[in-house]
Structure 1
Amino acid sequence: MTFFGIHDDPTRYRGQHCQDQGHSRHGIPYQHQRSLTADRKNSRAQLIHLKIHRKEPTILQNIKKECQQAFEEFKVYLTRLPLLVKPTPGDTLYLYISSTSQAVSSVLVREEEGTQTPIYYVSKVFNGAESRYPSIEKMTLALVITARKLRPYFLSHPMGVRTNTSLKQVLGKPEASGRLVKWAIELSEYDISYLPRTTIKA
């Protein structure tokens, strides 16, 4: 109670008043404290960005050097690859075939002045049943697969199959297995001769 009338004692509600105003325990309004925290985070992010930006030219230079080095190594690798050539009409082409327990592969080459240059590579991974074929049937299958893949070459060129296996004798036997008979008929339309295997001279 005062001379001007009855009023509330402001000291009784000081704590509530401070709480209503959003002050922290340090006396800083909560909204200001949040602003200061956000400013510190932004400043830290800007500092990190500035450091990265300063290092960026060095990083880019390292990347460019690595790319250039990889490109130069790739060019050297390409120069060492055997180049595939196009055969001349009427050339006799030679086929080297090989097989493993899981796959067959072959290379068709052209021979000129004692040097052989590759024309085409063929390979195939066996499926479950094919992997159990006898070795001679795997070699025959390699020849059949190559003939199917390179049919235009087989139709337009005499073929010399260089192998140390008895393919010619096996394919010529009337008592051969059903698969071999079928493959022999398929291969009979081509001009194929069987020659002793030699080392490829590139």
Structure 2
Amino acid sequence: MLFIQEVLSYGNEIIQLALNAMNDCELGNQQALLLLILTRTNNDINKEMTDKFFEEYPRLRSIPPVESVVKYICEDNFKDDVYCNTENIHIWERLSKLKQNMLEYYTQNVCEAKADGLFYEFHSKFYQMNVQLNRLRLVIQPEFHVIKNVHPVSKIPYLSVRGFWIDENDKKVKIFTKSLGREDSYVDGKNDGDMLKEATKQIQHLAYLKYLEAYK
């Protein structure tokens, strides 16, 4: 598809310029700066993919369902701090490939109007791809609740984190649980910044393992 190829070419140019500019930096700094450059332009690139799609298929822009689907696939709308996590590069690559596959599949089966007899098959597969996309986005930006429990004997409060997953019905459900230790080991208790970072890391790890189990 032309618009995907153009966006990928644009992304490769950004990478090359970034690498050229960072030749004298240490490896760790190179990786951090490169990720910052790529992810800070990520929302712009996502929106550009949406625009380029409708440049290639202008007649579809006036169809609300198509516009909504394309925007949903292209535009992740993550929080700003998610783009700064240098440990997520390998997951971003998976997200990019999945979005490309979804756009190609959607274009071939809807925008190019394949036979009506394949309607059910198309929607079943596209629904499964949509669930996969939502799951991968939840890996990149985990959602969780921190819970305080008091030991019945010692009366010492402990913290644990419960994380969400996307079930087969595309609904968020709590399935991950991880202990975070005693509440008094964190300066600000349930609101401690370091604790929330650790909770995010733990739930992301569990969610990614669950994702790999489902999509090898």
* TM-score using structure 2 length: 0.23
Q: Which has the higher strand share?
A: 1
**Structure showing greater Rg:** 1
Structure ranking higher on relative contact order (CA contacts 8 Å, 6+ apart): 1
Q: Which has the higher helix share?
A: 2
